[in-house]
Amino acid sequence: MGERVEQEEIFSQVLRAGRRTYFFDVRATKAEDYYLTVTESKKFTHDDGSFHYQKHKIYLYKEDFSDFREMLTKATDYILNEKGSEVISERHQKDYKKEEGVIENEKSTESFTDVSFDDI
């Protein structure tokens, strides 16, 4: 008793991104209304070759879609405007070396691709 039973997916999309996979699943409430679950699944490999997945999930309901979309757009636009779309990190580039004397919050002059989240 008290177990949470996941609803069957009505619509599902998968985004594979390196070691991470994102699942966007539309499910139905008991009242037959729809909501969205977004699950991040990340693969971890152990020294012996075995692996496990760590999952994080958020539930998003229709009444929050507009505000969520607006905040996601503002946050992603801010990142792209401040740092551009090029991925720069030690994890993604093994030969990455931080340049001395570079100002941390210096704005990038690179152009970026406009991201639309109208499908959320």
At 67, phi and psi to the nearest 5? -65, -40
Domain boundaries, the chain: 11-83
Per-residue pLDDT at 9: 75
* Contact assessment for residue 25 and residue 39, using Cβ atoms and an 8 Å cutoff: yes
H or E element at residue 68: helix 65-83
Please, where are the H alpha helices in the chain? 65-83
Is the whole-model pTM more than 0.85?
A: no
Q: How many CB atoms lie within 10 A of CB 11?
A: 10
The SS3 call for residue 60 is strand
Cα–Cα dist 61/68, whole Å? 10
- Match domain 11-83 to its CATH number in 3.90.1150.10, 1.10.10.10, 3.30.420.480, 3.10.450.700: 3.10.450.700
Q: What is the pLDDT along the chain (120 residues), one digit of tens a residue?
A: 555 555 577 999 999 998 899 999 999 999 999 999 999 999 888 899 898 999 999 999 999 999 999 999 999 999 999 999 998 776 655 565 666 555 554 444 444 455 555 555
Cα–Cα dist 39/90, whole Å? 25
